[in-house]
Amino acid sequence: MKLAALGEVMVELAPQSAVGSGDASKPQFMQSFAGDTYNTAVYIARGGVNVSYVTLLGDDPYSKEVLACLTQEGIDTSAIPQLPGRNPGLYLIQNTADGERYFTYWRGESPARELFADADRREALKAHLRQMDCLYLSGITLAIMSPEARGELLAFLQEYRANGGRVAFDSNYRPRLWASAEVAKIAVMDFLQQTDMALLTFEDEQALWGDTRVEECVQRNTAAGVSELIVKRGAEPVLMQVNGELDAIDVPLVSRVVDTTGAGDSFNAGYLAARLQGATPAQSVAAGNQCAARVIGHRGAIIPRTEYMERAAGAIEPG
Ligand code: ADP
Protein backbone atom coordinates (compact mmCIF):
# COMPACT_ATOMS: atom_id res chain seq x y z
CA MET A 1 0.00 0.00 0.00
CA LYS A 2 1.25 3.45 -0.87
CA LEU A 3 -0.25 6.80 0.10
CA ALA A 4 0.57 10.33 -1.05
CA ALA A 5 -0.24 13.29 1.20
CA LEU A 6 -0.61 16.67 -0.53
CA GLY A 7 -0.17 20.04 1.16
CA GLU A 8 2.17 22.49 2.82
CA VAL A 9 4.92 22.16 5.42
CA MET A 10 6.10 25.31 7.17
CA VAL A 11 8.90 26.41 9.44
CA GLU A 12 7.51 26.58 12.99
CA LEU A 13 8.89 28.85 15.72
CA ALA A 14 7.51 27.95 19.15
CA PRO A 15 8.40 29.92 22.31
CA GLN A 16 10.35 27.87 24.79
CA SER A 17 10.01 29.65 28.14
CA ALA A 18 6.77 29.26 30.06
CA VAL A 19 4.56 32.34 30.40
CA GLY A 20 5.71 34.47 33.31
CA SER A 21 9.27 33.16 33.28
CA GLY A 22 12.20 34.88 31.63
CA ASP A 23 12.03 38.16 29.76
CA ALA A 24 8.75 38.19 27.79
CA SER A 25 10.14 40.82 25.43
CA LYS A 26 12.92 38.45 24.37
CA PRO A 27 11.32 35.02 23.88
CA GLN A 28 13.48 32.06 22.96
CA PHE A 29 12.13 30.01 20.07
CA MET A 30 12.45 26.39 19.16
CA GLN A 31 12.47 25.81 15.40
CA SER A 32 10.81 22.82 13.80
CA PHE A 33 8.65 21.97 10.79
CA ALA A 34 4.90 21.34 10.74
CA GLY A 35 1.77 21.50 8.62
CA ASP A 36 -1.43 19.47 8.84
CA THR A 37 -0.83 17.01 5.97
CA TYR A 38 2.90 16.88 6.76
CA ASN A 39 2.15 15.87 10.37
CA THR A 40 -0.22 13.17 9.14
CA ALA A 41 2.32 11.94 6.56
CA VAL A 42 5.00 11.54 9.25
CA TYR A 43 2.76 9.47 11.54
CA ILE A 44 1.40 7.32 8.69
CA ALA A 45 4.99 6.49 7.72
CA ARG A 46 5.77 5.65 11.36
CA GLY A 47 2.73 3.36 11.22
CA GLY A 48 4.42 1.26 8.54
CA VAL A 49 2.80 2.50 5.30
CA ASN A 50 4.80 3.76 2.30
CA VAL A 51 4.24 7.50 2.09
CA SER A 52 5.10 10.12 -0.50
CA TYR A 53 4.81 13.77 0.53
CA VAL A 54 3.68 16.11 -2.24
CA THR A 55 4.35 19.84 -2.02
CA LEU A 56 6.71 22.46 -3.47
CA LEU A 57 9.69 23.86 -1.60
CA GLY A 58 12.45 26.37 -2.26
CA ASP A 59 16.20 25.88 -2.55
CA ASP A 60 17.03 27.55 0.79
CA PRO A 61 18.59 25.76 3.79
CA TYR A 62 15.20 25.27 5.50
CA SER A 63 13.69 23.57 2.45
CA LYS A 64 16.72 21.27 2.36
CA GLU A 65 16.20 20.48 6.03
CA VAL A 66 12.53 19.63 5.38
CA LEU A 67 13.63 17.19 2.69
CA ALA A 68 16.18 15.69 5.10
CA CYS A 69 13.49 15.30 7.82
CA LEU A 70 11.12 13.58 5.39
CA THR A 71 13.87 11.26 4.18
CA GLN A 72 14.78 10.42 7.78
CA GLU A 73 11.16 9.37 8.32
CA GLY A 74 11.40 7.11 5.27
CA ILE A 75 9.05 9.35 3.25
CA ASP A 76 9.46 9.61 -0.53
CA THR A 77 10.36 13.18 -1.58
CA SER A 78 10.66 12.51 -5.32
CA ALA A 79 7.50 14.54 -6.08
CA ILE A 80 8.73 17.72 -4.36
CA PRO A 81 10.12 20.31 -6.80
CA GLN A 82 12.51 22.90 -5.33
CA LEU A 83 11.80 26.31 -6.84
CA PRO A 84 14.93 28.48 -7.21
CA GLY A 85 15.12 31.55 -4.99
CA ARG A 86 12.07 30.55 -2.91
CA ASN A 87 11.62 29.51 0.72
CA PRO A 88 8.86 27.80 2.71
CA GLY A 89 6.13 29.53 4.73
CA LEU A 90 6.73 30.36 8.38
CA TYR A 91 4.61 30.66 11.51
CA LEU A 92 5.17 31.82 15.05
CA ILE A 93 3.33 30.52 18.11
CA GLN A 94 2.58 32.87 21.00
CA ASN A 95 1.55 31.55 24.41
CA THR A 96 -0.70 34.05 26.12
CA ALA A 97 -1.29 34.53 29.83
CA ASP A 98 -4.77 32.90 29.56
CA GLY A 99 -3.17 29.65 28.35
CA GLU A 100 -4.25 30.08 24.72
CA ARG A 101 -1.93 29.73 21.75
CA TYR A 102 -1.96 32.25 18.91
CA PHE A 103 -0.52 31.54 15.50
CA THR A 104 0.87 34.22 13.15
CA TYR A 105 1.65 33.10 9.61
CA TRP A 106 3.90 34.27 6.78
CA ARG A 107 2.84 31.92 4.02
CA GLY A 108 1.50 34.11 1.20
CA GLU A 109 4.53 33.44 -0.99
CA SER A 110 5.00 29.83 -0.05
CA PRO A 111 5.99 27.64 -3.04
CA ALA A 112 3.33 25.11 -1.92
CA ARG A 113 0.70 27.53 -3.24
CA GLU A 114 1.74 26.48 -6.73
CA LEU A 115 0.59 22.89 -6.25
CA PHE A 116 -1.05 21.65 -9.48
CA ALA A 117 -0.65 25.10 -11.11
CA ASP A 118 2.11 24.62 -13.71
CA ALA A 119 1.03 22.39 -16.63
CA ASP A 120 4.33 20.48 -17.07
CA ARG A 121 4.84 19.87 -13.37
CA ARG A 122 1.16 18.85 -13.07
CA GLU A 123 1.46 16.10 -15.69
CA ALA A 124 4.57 14.70 -13.97
CA LEU A 125 2.77 14.80 -10.63
CA LYS A 126 -0.32 13.04 -12.01
CA ALA A 127 1.90 10.19 -13.26
CA HIS A 128 3.34 9.91 -9.74
CA LEU A 129 -0.08 10.03 -8.03
CA ARG A 130 -1.54 7.34 -10.32
CA GLN A 131 0.89 4.88 -8.69
CA MET A 132 -0.67 5.46 -5.26
CA ASP A 133 -3.40 3.42 -3.57
CA CYS A 134 -4.64 6.38 -1.57
CA LEU A 135 -4.37 10.18 -1.68
CA TYR A 136 -4.75 12.33 1.43
CA LEU A 137 -5.52 16.04 1.35
CA SER A 138 -7.17 18.65 3.54
CA GLY A 139 -9.12 21.87 3.38
CA ILE A 140 -5.79 23.64 3.92
CA THR A 141 -4.36 21.96 0.81
CA LEU A 142 -7.36 23.29 -1.15
CA ALA A 143 -7.27 26.75 0.43
CA ILE A 144 -3.67 27.50 -0.54
CA MET A 145 -4.17 26.44 -4.18
CA SER A 146 -5.43 28.77 -6.92
CA PRO A 147 -9.06 28.13 -7.99
CA GLU A 148 -7.80 26.93 -11.41
CA ALA A 149 -5.35 24.48 -9.82
CA ARG A 150 -8.12 23.23 -7.51
CA GLY A 151 -10.26 22.55 -10.57
CA GLU A 152 -7.40 20.58 -12.15
CA LEU A 153 -6.92 18.54 -8.98
CA LEU A 154 -10.66 17.86 -8.73
CA ALA A 155 -10.77 16.59 -12.33
CA PHE A 156 -7.75 14.40 -11.63
CA LEU A 157 -9.41 12.90 -8.53
CA GLN A 158 -12.40 11.87 -10.64
CA GLU A 159 -10.09 9.98 -13.01
CA TYR A 160 -8.03 8.59 -10.12
CA ARG A 161 -11.09 7.19 -8.31
CA ALA A 162 -12.57 5.80 -11.53
CA ASN A 163 -9.37 3.75 -11.76
CA GLY A 164 -9.74 2.38 -8.24
CA GLY A 165 -7.80 4.95 -6.18
CA ARG A 166 -9.13 6.00 -2.77
CA VAL A 167 -9.26 9.58 -1.50
CA ALA A 168 -9.11 10.62 2.17
CA PHE A 169 -9.98 14.18 3.18
CA ASP A 170 -10.04 16.32 6.34
CA SER A 171 -11.87 19.65 5.96
CA ASN A 172 -9.53 21.47 8.42
CA TYR A 173 -11.32 24.80 7.93
CA ARG A 174 -9.08 27.87 8.42
CA PRO A 175 -11.19 30.94 7.54
CA ARG A 176 -8.22 33.25 6.93
CA LEU A 177 -6.93 31.09 4.09
CA TRP A 178 -10.15 31.44 2.09
CA ALA A 179 -11.52 34.42 0.13
CA SER A 180 -14.87 33.83 1.89
CA ALA A 181 -16.79 31.09 3.71
CA GLU A 182 -18.96 30.70 0.57
CA VAL A 183 -15.90 29.93 -1.58
CA ALA A 184 -14.72 27.44 1.05
CA LYS A 185 -18.11 25.71 1.19
CA ILE A 186 -18.27 25.26 -2.57
CA ALA A 187 -14.70 23.91 -2.78
CA VAL A 188 -15.11 21.57 0.21
CA MET A 189 -18.41 20.23 -1.16
CA ASP A 190 -16.82 19.61 -4.60
CA PHE A 191 -14.02 17.61 -3.01
CA LEU A 192 -16.30 15.71 -0.61
CA GLN A 193 -18.02 14.37 -3.69
CA GLN A 194 -14.64 12.83 -4.62
CA THR A 195 -13.92 11.56 -1.10
CA ASP A 196 -14.04 7.94 0.06
CA MET A 197 -12.89 8.53 3.64
CA ALA A 198 -13.83 11.84 5.28
CA LEU A 199 -11.94 12.36 8.56
CA LEU A 200 -13.53 15.53 9.92
CA THR A 201 -13.36 17.50 13.16
CA PHE A 202 -16.78 18.62 14.37
CA GLU A 203 -15.48 22.04 15.53
CA ASP A 204 -14.27 22.82 11.99
CA GLU A 205 -17.55 21.60 10.51
CA GLN A 206 -19.45 23.88 12.89
CA ALA A 207 -17.26 26.85 11.97
CA LEU A 208 -17.76 26.29 8.23
CA TRP A 209 -21.38 25.10 8.07
CA GLY A 210 -22.88 26.41 11.32
CA ASP A 211 -23.95 22.93 12.51
CA THR A 212 -25.59 22.91 15.91
CA ARG A 213 -25.99 19.13 16.07
CA VAL A 214 -23.58 16.47 14.86
CA GLU A 215 -26.47 14.81 12.97
CA GLU A 216 -26.46 17.78 10.55
CA CYS A 217 -22.80 17.11 9.80
CA VAL A 218 -23.48 13.40 9.24
CA GLN A 219 -26.44 14.13 6.96
CA ARG A 220 -24.56 16.64 4.82
CA ASN A 221 -21.59 14.36 4.28
CA THR A 222 -23.76 11.33 3.58
CA ALA A 223 -25.70 13.37 1.00
CA ALA A 224 -22.35 14.34 -0.60
CA GLY A 225 -21.69 10.62 -1.15
CA VAL A 226 -19.05 9.95 1.55
CA SER A 227 -19.25 6.23 2.30
CA GLU A 228 -16.80 6.22 5.23
CA LEU A 229 -17.28 9.16 7.58
CA ILE A 230 -15.39 9.81 10.80
CA VAL A 231 -16.19 12.80 13.03
CA LYS A 232 -13.64 13.68 15.73
CA ARG A 233 -14.84 15.56 18.79
CA GLY A 234 -11.86 15.95 21.15
CA ALA A 235 -12.34 13.71 24.21
CA GLU A 236 -15.98 13.00 23.21
CA PRO A 237 -16.73 9.71 21.39
CA VAL A 238 -15.71 9.58 17.72
CA LEU A 239 -18.67 9.17 15.38
CA MET A 240 -18.26 6.67 12.57
CA GLN A 241 -20.72 6.12 9.75
CA VAL A 242 -19.84 3.38 7.29
CA ASN A 243 -22.25 2.44 4.53
CA GLY A 244 -25.14 4.08 6.36
CA GLU A 245 -24.50 2.58 9.80
CA LEU A 246 -23.76 5.07 12.57
CA ASP A 247 -21.65 4.20 15.65
CA ALA A 248 -20.03 6.16 18.48
CA ILE A 249 -16.63 4.95 19.64
CA ASP A 250 -15.29 6.09 23.02
CA VAL A 251 -11.99 7.95 23.24
CA PRO A 252 -9.74 6.39 25.90
CA LEU A 253 -8.88 8.69 28.80
CA VAL A 254 -5.50 10.39 28.46
CA SER A 255 -4.36 11.16 31.99
CA ARG A 256 -1.90 13.92 31.08
CA VAL A 257 -2.86 16.03 28.08
CA VAL A 258 0.19 18.26 27.47
CA ASP A 259 -0.64 19.89 24.12
CA THR A 260 -3.44 19.01 21.70
CA THR A 261 -1.60 20.47 18.68
CA GLY A 262 -1.71 17.87 15.92
CA ALA A 263 -4.41 15.75 17.65
CA GLY A 264 -6.64 15.58 14.58
CA ASP A 265 -3.70 15.13 12.20
CA SER A 266 -2.29 12.23 14.20
CA PHE A 267 -5.72 10.63 14.61
CA ASN A 268 -6.05 10.68 10.81
CA ALA A 269 -2.62 9.07 10.48
CA GLY A 270 -3.44 6.27 12.94
CA TYR A 271 -6.75 5.69 11.16
CA LEU A 272 -5.31 5.63 7.63
CA ALA A 273 -2.24 3.54 8.49
CA ALA A 274 -4.50 0.90 10.06
CA ARG A 275 -7.12 1.08 7.33
CA LEU A 276 -4.60 0.72 4.51
CA GLN A 277 -3.13 -2.30 6.26
CA GLY A 278 -6.48 -4.07 6.30
CA ALA A 279 -8.07 -3.03 9.61
CA THR A 280 -11.83 -2.44 9.80
CA PRO A 281 -13.09 1.16 10.22
CA ALA A 282 -13.83 0.48 13.93
CA GLN A 283 -10.33 -0.93 14.51
CA SER A 284 -8.92 2.03 12.60
CA VAL A 285 -10.76 4.52 14.86
CA ALA A 286 -9.12 2.79 17.85
CA ALA A 287 -5.74 3.11 16.12
CA GLY A 288 -6.47 6.80 15.42
CA ASN A 289 -7.31 7.39 19.08
CA GLN A 290 -4.09 5.65 20.15
CA CYS A 291 -1.93 7.66 17.77
CA ALA A 292 -3.52 10.94 18.93
CA ALA A 293 -3.12 9.93 22.60
CA ARG A 294 0.64 9.53 22.07
CA VAL A 295 0.92 12.93 20.39
CA ILE A 296 -1.15 14.97 22.88
CA GLY A 297 0.98 13.65 25.74
CA HIS A 298 3.87 15.63 24.26
CA ARG A 299 4.49 19.28 23.34
CA GLY A 300 4.37 20.08 19.61
CA ALA A 301 2.79 18.46 16.56
CA ILE A 302 5.66 16.09 15.80
CA ILE A 303 6.83 14.01 18.73
CA PRO A 304 10.39 12.68 18.42
CA ARG A 305 10.55 9.42 16.49
CA THR A 306 12.21 7.28 19.19
CA GLU A 307 9.77 8.43 21.89
CA TYR A 308 6.82 7.83 19.55
CA MET A 309 8.01 4.31 18.74
CA GLU A 310 8.54 3.55 22.44
CA ARG A 311 5.02 4.78 23.18
CA ALA A 312 3.67 2.74 20.26
CA ALA A 313 5.42 -0.35 21.59
CA GLY A 314 3.80 0.23 24.99
CA ALA A 315 7.09 1.01 26.74
CA ILE A 316 5.68 4.39 27.86
CA GLU A 317 2.06 5.09 28.83
CA PRO A 318 0.36 7.31 26.21
CA GLY A 319 -0.16 10.30 28.49
P1 ADP B 1 -8.44 18.60 16.12
O2 ADP B 1 -7.02 18.46 16.54
O3 ADP B 1 -8.64 18.50 14.66
O4 ADP B 1 -9.14 19.80 16.77
P5 ADP B 1 -9.89 16.90 18.05
O6 ADP B 1 -9.65 17.91 19.12
O7 ADP B 1 -11.30 16.52 17.78
O8 ADP B 1 -9.20 17.29 16.67
O9 ADP B 1 -9.07 15.60 18.46
C10 ADP B 1 -8.75 14.58 17.56
C11 ADP B 1 -8.54 13.29 18.32
O12 ADP B 1 -7.51 13.46 19.31
C13 ADP B 1 -9.75 12.81 19.10
O14 ADP B 1 -10.62 12.06 18.29
C15 ADP B 1 -9.07 11.95 20.16
O16 ADP B 1 -8.66 10.71 19.61
C17 ADP B 1 -7.83 12.75 20.49
N18 ADP B 1 -8.06 13.73 21.57
C19 ADP B 1 -8.20 15.06 21.47
N20 ADP B 1 -8.38 15.63 22.68
C21 ADP B 1 -8.36 14.63 23.59
C22 ADP B 1 -8.46 14.53 25.03
N23 ADP B 1 -8.65 15.60 25.79
N24 ADP B 1 -8.37 13.31 25.59
C25 ADP B 1 -8.17 12.19 24.85
N26 ADP B 1 -8.04 12.21 23.51
C27 ADP B 1 -8.15 13.40 22.88
pLDDT in tens, 81-92: 999 999 999 999
Which atom of ligand 1 is least distant from the CA of 289? Answer: 16
Cα of 234 to ligand 1 centre, how many Å? 3
Closest protein CA for atom 2 of ligand 1: 264
265 is catalytic: yes
- For the Cβ of 267 lying below 6 angstroms from any atom of ligand 1, the answer is yes
Burial classification of residue 21, based on how many CB atoms lie within 10 Å of its CB (0-12 exposed, 13-18 middle, 19 or more buried): exposed
Cα of 264 to ligand 1 centre, how many Å? 6
Residue spans per domain, the chain:
2-8+35-85+111-312
Q: What is the CATH number of domain 2-8+35-85+111-312?
A: 3.40.1190.20
Counting residues of the chain whose pLDDT is more than 90, the rounded percentage is: 84
**pLDDT of the residue at 151:** 98
Handedness of CA 61, 145, 300, 39 (dihedral sign): negative
**90-95 and 101-106 as β-strands: parallel, antiparallel, unpaired?**
antiparallel
Question: Residues 307-315: contacts with CB within 8 Å, 24+ apart?
Answer: 308/43, 308/46, 309/46, 312/46
pLDDT in tens, 239-272: 999 988 999 999 999 998 988 999 999 999 999 9
Separation between Cα atoms, residue 289 and residue 74, nearest integer Å = 23
Threshold 0.85, pTM exceeds: yes
